[in-house]
Structure 1
């Protein structure tokens, strides 16, 4: 008897199209465990590094999102040049058959094997008599197909609302809070700073309204939360960029939690969710002018997030 339902894909971002693939797989055989096969790093980053996309999530976040979407197990295939040379038949025999699938569910644009020579028709032919194959159409919003490329483009343009529309959730950027220059604290706006790795997607440089969540089970001051307590989530004004006013060179996500100067977040894992773009990045020649602008940014964040004025 077949042991599993299997879905295959890169699943970068785990957007609604990806989640629908998992949901359909679960509907087909709810009695079987759901195994997700994904690839890391991104195939294009291996085959043509100069054109490899910036990813919407880390591998850790991808696995977490896939599990939340219903996966009982996530099989991560290391994508190498040697793996890329496998024929479609090699892929089926060496990756899929050992999982003993009853049904394999993929997107209608699924390609696999050397030079992406395998199609859904190829998979169906290779599967004959062993497992079923179900190909699903892309999810559409209005007149657009949802795909990771579209979401990356929206982020590159600073349109975090459009990205969220196609992600089915707010775009969030994760990392561990690094020690910064502490300038924000001296200006009255202490920030939690996340470096932006070159391979991860991030919204266009500018200022945004959003939310910051501490993810390690500790509270604002680093003390353990009660069992089953929700993770603390605070409204934030978020700056993305190199901080040109101070001739910065390193691109960072800097988040000021509204009305809080007591947070102990150094070395804490956090996620930053982007709700709306306020403005582009500006180089100020006067510090007082910068502070006035930051006060206005915070006020706009309050409006966008529905947060009342500080008491």
Structure 2
């Protein structure tokens, strides 16, 4: 899959293309259905399949104080889109200046001039152009004028429409099971393993601490069964702690994974520091609890390991 970060990077002879547009945050099952339609239309028309997305998310430009947390980072989104079999993704830099384009200017410069669109796949609620004044009727009219078809994806047939909002709601409750159903895969975070306070090691449970700038929404505080995927793509079963650990004072909120089946010591045989890893959340075991002291916490951590192992054995 080719990735372009500006209109100038798109090869002049890349088209014709079947194109769709969206933020695709989380790349959930609704997004996947749209992109499947794009691929099908492209195959039928002997064209290329392309998605147009934006970076940063438009909400971060227009209303940064209330912009939703991003379910996944841009790099992870590109990997996921590549796995879906697209031919190309155009990542348009989003700014207030870019947002001032009229619907006609936007469609002509991006879809027609840059991508040579022969068809555009959209949902019934598509909005685009300055002030989101362009809608489905606008797109159909522009297609007739500029020479491309408009294919409308029908998202009916579900009890609730797949959405990024639904994923955020579920993760905010620690309901990673529902999030996985909407996403069509387990929710994950990715980032560098950094040094922490080493408190887990002191308790006999050394953990891999994700950097505070790791990508992906942090689910609700608690302990989860999941997987850690290291830089060599090895999948390790893990018990994952999310939160500030209320048993100890002055600990900031963090995500840390205790790998269950660590290689034999010495510790150097399993050094994840500095590695870029992925942490996948399978099931929430419990909320975060303040214990009376380290002994009670250690006892609970042993139980968390047993519970995680049992859950992961089924996955």
Q: TM-score, normalised by structure 2?
A: 0.88
Matched, 1:13 2:26: yes
In 2, Cα distance between equivalents of 1:198 and 1:304: 25
Aligned residues: 292
Q: Counterpart in 2 of 1:27?
A: 40
Q: Counterpart in 2 of 1:283?
A: 290
Name the SS for the 1:245 alignment partner.
Answer: coil
Deviation at 1:121, TM superposition (A): 1.3
| Residue ranges of structure 2 left out of the alignment (5+ in a row) | 1-12
Taking a change above 3 Å as real, the CA distance of residues 43 and 200 of structure 1, as seen in their structure-2 partners, is same
Q: Counterpart in 1 of 2:228?
A: 212
Name the SS for the 2:289 alignment partner.
Answer: coil
Matched, 1:54 2:56: no
Contact 1:195 1:250 in 2 (8 A): no
Name the SS for the 2:194 alignment partner.
Answer: coil
Q: Counterpart in 2 of 1:297?
A: 304
Contact 2:192 2:214 in 1 (8 A): no
Name the SS for the 1:190 alignment partner.
Answer: coil
Deviation at 1:279, TM superposition (A): 0.6
Q: Quick check: 13-22 or 189-198, which moved more?
A: 189-198
Q: Counterpart in 1 of 2:122?
A: 106
Q: Counterpart in 1 of 2:57?
A: 42
In 1, Cα distance between equivalents of 2:89 and 2:150: 19
| Residue ranges of structure 1 left out of the alignment (5+ in a row) | 218-230
In 1, Cα distance between equivalents of 2:98 and 2:71: 23
| Deviation per residue, 1:88-147 (Å, 9 max, x gap) | 111112221121011111222211111111111111111115111112123664x11100
Name the SS for the 1:5 alignment partner.
Answer: strand
Q: TM-score, normalised by structure 1?
A: 0.89
Taking a change above 3 Å as real, the CA distance of residues 66 and 199 of structure 1, as seen in their structure-2 partners, is closer
Deviation at 1:200, TM superposition (A): 4.2
Q: Counterpart in 1 of 2:182?
A: 166
Taking a change above 3 Å as real, the CA distance of residues 73 and 153 of structure 1, as seen in their structure-2 partners, is same
Q: Where do 1:215-230 residues align within 5 Å?
A: 216-217=231-232
Q: Counterpart in 2 of 1:120?
A: 136
Name the SS for the 1:127 alignment partner.
Answer: helix
Deviation at 1:249, TM superposition (A): 4.3
Contact 2:246 2:290 in 1 (8 A): yes
Name the SS for the 1:169 alignment partner.
Answer: coil
In 1, Cα distance between equivalents of 2:207 and 2:131: 46
In 2, Cα distance between equivalents of 1:256 and 1:147: 31
In 2, Cα distance between equivalents of 1:292 and 1:43: 47
Deviation at 1:253, TM superposition (A): 1.0
In 2, Cα distance between equivalents of 1:23 and 1:266: 38
